[in-house]
Structures are given as C-alpha cells and as structure tokens.
Amino acid sequence: MRRFQQDDAHIFCRQDQIKAEVLGALDFMKHVYTVLGMTCKLELSTRPAKALGDHALWDIAEDQLAEALDEFGGVGNWSVIAGDGAFYGPKIDIKVFDALERIHQCATVQLDFFQLPLRFDLQYKAQGVEAKEEEGGEEEGAAAEKAQAFQRHVMVHRAMLGSVERMTAVLAEHWEASGPSGSPPPPGVRGAGRPQVQRLRLLRGAAGRARCGVLRRGGRLIAHAEEEEGAGGTAGAAQLRAGGGA
C-alpha cells in the first residue's frame, strides 16, 4: 500500500458547545456501526502526565465528555483510562468488536484545546461583548478589553472508520467476504471468507460466548471456546480446527 485515507473531520466550536458536538459525533458513530453490524465499547482517556494548558480547563473538558457519555451510553456503561489522553486534550476511544470478538481501535472523538487553535491563532468575538476602539496609539486598558472580547476556539476531532483501507480489511473478515445482510462484498474484496468464523460461532453456542477466540498452533488457526465455571460445575473447553495457516 502506498497511501491510505482517513475519514476524520475537524469541528471548531465554543467551549459551551463541546457536549452537543460530541453527542452528535457519538450518534453518527452509532448509526455507522449499526449498519456495519458491529458492537463497541467506549473509553474516556483523561489528562496525561505531560499535558499542555491549564488543568482547570482539562477538568471542564473531561466533565463535558463524561456527561456526553452518560447521556449517550448510560451511567456505568463506559470506562475511564486515566492518563491516556492526548497531550492537547482528552478523548473518547471507540473500540469495536468483529465476528471473532477481536477489538479494533477505529472511531475516536478527541478535543484539541492547545494545538491547532493556537497554531492557527483562531479566535471568535464573544457574544454580547464589544471591544472599544483604541483612540490614538496603544493603550493597555483598551488592549485588555479587546483581548477579553475575543476567545479561543475548541476543536473537536472525530473519525468514524479511521483508516478506510484498514476498515475494509476488518469488514472483509467480519462479513466473511460478503456485505451486511448478504449484500455484495465491498469493491476489491475477494474470497470465500475464513472458516474459523463459522466454527467459532458454533463453539459460542456450546460455551455460552465465554472466552471464545482463535488460537495459532503449529501454523494452523484453531477456533477455541472455554466454558466458565458455573455453580457446582467445572470449566470445560472445546476446539475445532479452522483451516489453513494464514
């Protein structure tokens, strides 16, 4: 591959618009992955040790993201990854599950307070605040009033698929080389699908979807499911060979 494309977008907004914009991005993400037939989990990554900007501003941003996650997914249906945010702002990581229950980091919603808004020197005139025109030369009072009249944007960076080419490969396996609900495969996708997908689904039925996955042994892929220990029972395991060694 010589290049790849990202489906990211950058939304410039006021600080009081963060929650609404993040909710809009999460609703968009939900629609996309519902169509693709994939489930996901949500994680809030907070301020890292080496972070730019005022900690109080970080706290405000993290609170708004947490409120958006509570409203979108429900309280307790997302997790916090402390210190894993970007140096320029906190972020929401959306990790999706494919048919083999492997996790893929694809979609993301990130806040940028201190990177692009500062580099591009982006400002907007605050509503209801009028800057007094300076009369005759530079005056500190007039300059201070003018500075208060303008505020810095916040940038919401959101991506739904991430790398389109990488997502195409993920979907080729997730759909077993056919489209959702039996539709044709995506352009450029060929093959009959990987047999471990079907065999893993059979194992899930027997093992109650507990600790299912694919193992590599001796150059071969093995669909593997292990039952959880129940009341008065013991753990059991089942395996099925899943075809060639790729």
Residue 1 has pLDDT above 80, yes or no: no
Rounded Cα–Cα distance for residues 158 and 12 (Å): 11
Q: pLDDT per residue over 118-154, tens digit each?
A: 788 888 888 765 544 444 445 555 555 555 688 888 8
Kind and range of the H or E run holding 142? helix 140-149
Cα 154 to the center of its chain, rounded Å: 19
CATH architecture observed for domain 6-135+142-174: 2-Layer Sandwich (3.30)
Rounded Cα–Cα distance for residues 69 and 75 (Å): 8
Q: What are phi and psi of 8, to 5 degrees?
A: -80, 160
Mean pLDDT computed over 223-235: 47
Taking a C-beta distance cutoff of 8 angstroms, is the pair 145, 132 a contact? yes
| pLDDT of res. 60 | 87
| pLDDT of res. 201 | 55
The answer to which of 29-43, 63-77, 161-175 has the lowest mean pLDDT is: 161-175
Rounded Cα–Cα distance for residues 14 and 152 (Å): 8
Rounded Cα–Cα distance for residues 199 and 167 (Å): 23
For the chain, the average pLDDT equals 74
Q: pLDDT per residue over 12-23, tens digit each?
A: 988 889 999 999
| pLDDT of res. 189 | 45
Residue 40 has pLDDT above 70, yes or no: yes
Mean pLDDT computed over 66-74: 93
Q: 154-163 and 150-152: which strand pairing? A: unpaired
Look at the pTM and tell me if it is higher than 0.85: no
Domain boundaries, the chain: 6-135+142-174, 194-241
Is residue 239 helix, strand or coil? strand
- Of the pLDDT bands very low, low, confident and very high (cuts 50, 70, 90), residue 92 is very high
Return the residue matching tokens 């030369």: 137
